Structure 1
């Protein structure tokens, strides 16, 4: 199994050989429509409800031995600062600074720097259209990791993704190349296998950790949703487990609440990947934080 560089984010690592480190699941918090969100413009939310949900999901991932990242999404700079202050104060978890707006992302990175939390911050994301001011801020206040949007929906495939990675390496300082995480993109649910295979190849060829959001298309799968929540959650767990078998290092799993239900599936596949690694590299030491340990505890 191919090995790639490792990226340290807070107390956790991504990368290495497939199966060496636990998969990171990225649960989204403060998205539009989430029940605990009161005012997305100002960043007002039910702090008690948010804390309870984080604790429950952290417990689920802890029992499975996998890694939890909080994908913090915001609409405005003001909201991003409020959310990050809460996450930094109340948790020790890695977090993503996530927004469709470059101004909001930049405000988030400034907040992480202000509160000395860049060591567990993941910038989400940069791409071929990222401007100079954003790149300059990243260089001045480097986060622990930087997600690269390595997908071209109009020219989807391995070569176009590799071309994006090469371009990003030209515009990002060399000293930050080992902090790059590649989001390879899942266009729809029907193409999950194709996308996962591309991710596997990009991981091998680039030497960088890879991931994506294999569950996004499921929310547009009306026939599946019509079968009820239990069926939907089973399909969700099957999807992340299946994609995990391709050796992805991180996966966006949708709303944070999903983490509780899919954690055992991700942990089980991590066990299979780790045992596969053990069979070809028996001298490799098992890390302390790993499903191979956690999933066999009563």
Structure 2
């Protein structure tokens, strides 16, 4: 594909490395658990869930990670402080190494989760999701007071969905502080840029182009929840009612398009889709690795799909 002139940062999360030139490291796949509507959740206020089913889902993603060589993370979503603390405790009890995202639609819950990770000694594994333009002073102060030094930094610009708009929200415009500066002030040393996937016809193309722009201009690890482009496609919502088989290729495909452009991590959606996602991502990673070698780069992970699956 291509090689960036800009030095590409690589951040470590345990044994997992995120970033680098295209093809140097395998793409990190992040499955989501406990999201709204997840069938394993019995009470989303108290965080009561089917632990056996949850462990089966996590083990399947971990198995696909081992088979393909693609690193993985867990995206833990909670709607109350009590619930997300229970989810974090459960995950820490079955996995002692893997990084996880703390996520919620409620800012107070995200801050509570960050504080809880401090209390139980898990801040080094936690990734705050996310620092974005809607963050108020209370949330910023909560992040600043925590020990967490990794966060998703969201490049969502409500006023401008173009590549320029995304870069402006990240870097600021000379008058308004950018999200990256805000993240640094919060003690974030390992920022992962989410280019904010948008629906078809409303900025989906700019989302993909932004992967190149962010890595080329900032040199930071870049990715996003690209599957949201597929799930927001109104035509597909209707079409798949009678043609269920049409949706999975579209869902997985949104990730692959951005992966070819250099995305370092994929928030691919429900963890139950791991078996569908990992082989496809591994296939593209092998192609990217072949190209990287031709460009004089080195495949820097001995577990890369290029070595495991060819």
Change (3 A) 1:195 1:247: same
Match among 106, 116, 122 for residue 121 of structure 2 = 116
C-alpha distance in 2, partners of 1:108/1:254?
20
Q: Deviations over 1:78-127 (max 9, x none)?
A: 10100111111112321100012111001111122222222221100011
Task: Say which of 218, 222, 226 aligns to 1:206.
Answer: 218
In the TM superposition, residue 170 of structure 1 has moved relative to its aligned partner by 2.9
SS of match in other structure, 2:207: helix
1:225 aligned onto 2:240: yes
Deviations 1:255-294 (A, max 9, x none): 1111221101111111111121111125x35312311122
Residue number in structure 2 paired with 1:292: 306
Structure 2, unpaired ranges of 5+:
172-177
Gap change, CA 1:224 and 1:145, over 3 Å in 2: farther
**Residue of structure 2 equivalent to 1:72:** 76
Q: Identify if the C-alpha distance between structure 1 residues 177 and 258 changes in structure 2 by more than 3 Å, giving closer, same or farther.
A: same
Q: CA deviation at 1:224?
A: 4.3
Describe the SS at the equivalent of 1:274.
Answer: helix
The 1:177/1:208 distance shift into structure 2, 3 A limit, reads farther
The structure with the largest helix share of the pair is 1
Question: SS of the counterpart of 2:300?
Answer: coil
| Of 272, 279, 297, the match for 1:264 | 279
* 1:65-85 deviations in Å (ceiling 9; x for gaps): 112111111111110100111
Relative to the length of structure 2, the TM-score reads 0.88
Higher alpha-carbon deviation: 142-151 or 119-128 = 142-151
Supply the distance in 2 between the matched residues of 1:240 and 1:171 (Cα, whole angstroms).
28
Matched with 1:152 is 157
Residue in structure 2 matched with residue 168 of structure 1 by the alignment: 179
Residue in structure 1 matched with residue 132 of structure 2 by the alignment = 127
State whether residues 289 and 299 of structure 2, in contact with CA within 8 Å, keep that contact through their aligned partners in structure 1.
no
* Structure 1 stretches lacking a partner, 5+ long: none
Select 2:209's aligned residue among 192, 197, 218: 197
Report if aligned partners of 2:150, 2:192 keep a CA contact under 8 Å in 1: yes
Counterparts of 1:63 and 1:276 in 2: how far apart (Å)? Answer: 22
1:179 is matched with: 190
Instruction: Tell me if the contact between 1:189 and 1:214 (Cα under 8 Å) persists in the aligned partners.
Output: no
Counterpart secondary structure, 2:193: strand
> How far apart, CA to CA, are the structure 2 residues paired with 1:147 and 1:80?
18
Q: Distance in 1 between matches of 2:242 and 2:278?
A: 22
The answer for the alignment partner of 1:100 in structure 2 is 105
Partners in 2 of 1:147 and 1:105 — Cα distance? 12
**In structure 1, distance between residues paired with 2:255 and 2:197:** 12
Change beyond 3 A, Cα 1:144–1:9: farther
Distance 1:222 1:245 in 2: 26
* Distance in 2, Cα, partners of 1:224 & 1:112: 43
CA distance in 1, matches of 2:219, 2:188: 11
Q: Give the superposition deviation at 1:130.
A: 1.9
Q: Is the 8 A contact 1:5 1:178 kept in 2?
A: no
Q: Does structure 1 retain, via aligned residues, the 8 Å contact 2:230–2:254? A: no
Asked if structure 1 preserves the Cα contact closer than 8 Å seen for 2:23 and 2:299, the reply is: no
Shift of 1:128: 2.4
